[in-house]
């Protein structure tokens, strides 16, 4: 399944604009939506029973291709692992972003690439004409250049690259069903690790980080900082063209909808905020404690159709297993979920 960083409701809103000055953006959004709906040949997808045996990390194996405005993948190879920079900013940003994502999972979690077994990392840049999205298609990353009015190039945000590649990690681990609450968890897990990729690459603590997903995607014509805010869902943008960020921050504002696979890009704000609360309560680097708790959760026994309550309980159990029952880390997890409206209950004690 294709996982795009820009929610379909945002593209649909842009596609319906009837303003002469924004006609290029509206037409670009229309083309992007048509492209996103177009069937793609099945790649060598991943089935749970085919998850490869893990191996120690030994370094990334990256290949960057250029679609040159077409929608045929992968395009012409422009850079392979170890090659010098190309001078094409999108190709070089994609190469660096794939490397930064590999580094987080290898250095922090001991994971060799997306599948844990050294999967080569592939990306295509300059996909489509003014294509307003970036996506993981189950086998590789794909980046559009944006329309130039609302969106710039999609390689410009490291959190976007980390987010999309993390869909691949989820694909090879929890394989969360992409609908309803499990789908929102799928999106949230990608936001979590996308944020961690950016923070780890920049050496930022939880307190120093922006906690923005897609920062740098909007042009200066947009009143907005990013696609999503993990620290304050619903505040990433407030623009006369785009409207206001519709993400809820707590279960009190949970969006019950059939659009967007049951609101997967909307309700992901709730578990996103829970992670941010855990990371900031614990302080220091988010990849030191909060990140491993979430990683242990998706690589554990989490069911593919997990609900928010299932995930909350699983993160509490993961914190207890790693740091101890009634530990500071487990307490932070329980408190965070309670704050967003998902109380877990008694966490037990060592006595």
Residue 1: what pLDDT?
60
96 and 211, same domain (yes or no): no
Domain containing 129 — which CATH number? Answer: 3.10.170.10
Residue 348: what pLDDT?
43
Domain containing 312 — which CATH number? Answer: 1.10.390.10
- Total domains present in the chain: 2
Total Cβ atoms within 10 A of residue 138: 17
Does any domain span residue 225?
A: yes
166 and 244, same domain (yes or no): no
3-7, 36-40, 80-84: lowest mean pLDDT where? 36-40
Residue 41: what pLDDT?
44
Phi, psi of 237 (to 5 degrees): -155, 150
| Burial category of 301 from C-beta neighbours within 10 Å (exposed 0-12, middle 13-18, buried 19 and up) | exposed
Mean pLDDT on 183-205: 98
185 and 154, same domain (yes or no): no
65 and 124, same domain (yes or no): yes
212 and 282, same domain (yes or no): yes
CB 183 within 8 A of CB 25: no
Residue 3: what pLDDT?
79
Domain boundary among 172, 206, 221: 172
Between the alpha carbon of residue 268 and those of residues 70, 102, 190, 236, 262, the distances in Å are 32, 24, 10, 14, 11
Residues 6+ apart with CB under 8 A from 296: 318, 321, 322
Q: Give the bridge partners for 77, in sequence order.
A: 65
197 and 310, same domain (yes or no): yes
pLDDT tens for residues 216-253? 999 999 999 999 999 999 999 999 889 999 999 999 99
Does any domain span residue 277?
A: yes
Residue 8: what pLDDT?
87
Q: Is the pLDDT of residue 70 over 70?
A: yes
pLDDT tens for residues 103-124? 999 999 999 999 999 999 999 9
The pLDDT confidence band at residue 46, using thresholds 50, 70 and 90, is: very low
Residue 40: what pLDDT?
46
The pLDDT confidence band at residue 52, using thresholds 50, 70 and 90, is: confident
Domain boundary among 130, 151, 172: 172
Active site residues: 164, 265
156 and 184, same domain (yes or no): no
Query: Judging by DSSP bridges, how do beta strands 76-80 and 228-229 pair with one another?
Result: unpaired
Domain boundary among 124, 139, 172: 172
pLDDT tens for residues 274-300? 999 999 999 999 999 999 999 999 999
Q: Which domain holds residue 35?
A: 3-172
Q: Is the pLDDT of residue 314 over 70?
A: yes
Mean pLDDT on 45-69: 81
Does any domain span residue 335?
A: yes
> Which ranges constitute the DSSP H helices of the chain?
8-15, 23-37, 89-109, 158-172, 180-202, 260-263, 269-282, 290-298, 308-323, 328-339
Q: Is the pLDDT of residue 38 over 90?
A: no
161 and 197, same domain (yes or no): no
Does any domain span residue 122?
A: yes
Does any domain span residue 333?
A: yes
101 and 239, same domain (yes or no): no
The pLDDT confidence band at residue 102, using thresholds 50, 70 and 90, is: very high
Does any domain span residue 345?
A: no
Residue 43: what pLDDT?
40
CB 270 within 8 A of CB 250: yes
Does any domain span residue 325?
A: yes
230 and 334, same domain (yes or no): yes
Mean pLDDT on 288-317: 98
pLDDT tens for residues 171-186? 999 999 999 999 999 9
135 and 220, same domain (yes or no): no
Percent of the chain clearing pLDDT 90 (strictly above) = 82
Residue 346: what pLDDT?
55
Does any domain span residue 347?
A: no
Give the whole-angstrom CA distance, residue 27 versus residue 15: 6
95 and 196, same domain (yes or no): no
Residue 349: what pLDDT?
40
């Amino acid at each position: 399944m294709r996982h795009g960083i820009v929610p379909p409701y945002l593209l649909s809103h842009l596609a319906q604009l009837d303003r002469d000055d924004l006609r290029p953006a509206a037409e670009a959004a229309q083309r992007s939506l048509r492209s996103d709906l177009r069937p793609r040949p099945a790649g060598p997808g991943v089935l749970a029973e085919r998850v490869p045996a893990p191996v120690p990390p030994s370094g990334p194996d990256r290949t960057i291709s250029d679609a040159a405005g077409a929608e045929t993948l992968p395009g012409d190879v422009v850079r392979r692992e170890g090659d010098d920079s190309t001078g094409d900013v999108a190709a070089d940003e994609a190469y660096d972003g794939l490397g930064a994502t590999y580094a987080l999972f290898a250095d922090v979690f001991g994971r060799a690439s997306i599948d844990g077994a050294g999967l080569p990392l592939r990306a295509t840049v300059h996909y489509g004409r003014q294509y307003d999205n970036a996506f993981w298609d189950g086998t590789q990353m794909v980046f559009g250049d944006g329309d130039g009015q609302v969106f710039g190039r999609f390689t410009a945000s490291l959190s976007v690259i980390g987010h999309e590649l993390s869909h691949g990690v989820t694909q090879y681990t929890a394989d969360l069903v992409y609908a309803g609450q499990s789908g929102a968890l799928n999106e949230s897990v990608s936001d979590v690790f996308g944020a961690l990729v950016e923070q780890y690459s920049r050496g930022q603590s939880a307190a120093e980080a922006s906690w923005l997903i897609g920062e740098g995607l909007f042009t200066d014509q947009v009143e907005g900082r990013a696609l999503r805010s993990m620290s304050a869902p619903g505040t990433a943008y407030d623009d006369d063209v785009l409207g206001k960020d519709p993400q809820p921050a707590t279960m009190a504002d949970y969006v019950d909808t059939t659009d967007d696979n049951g609101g997967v890009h909307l309700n992901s704000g709730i578990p996103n905020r829970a992670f941010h609360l855990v990371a900031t309560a614990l302080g220091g680097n988010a990849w030191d404690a909060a990140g491993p708790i979430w990683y242990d959760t998706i690589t554990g026994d989490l069911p593919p159709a997990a609900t928010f309550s299932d995930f909350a309980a699983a993160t509490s159990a993961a914190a207890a297993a790693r740091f101890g029952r009634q530990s500071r880390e487990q307490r932070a997890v329980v408190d965070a979920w309670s704050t967003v409206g998902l109380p877990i209950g008694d966490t037990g004690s060592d006595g």
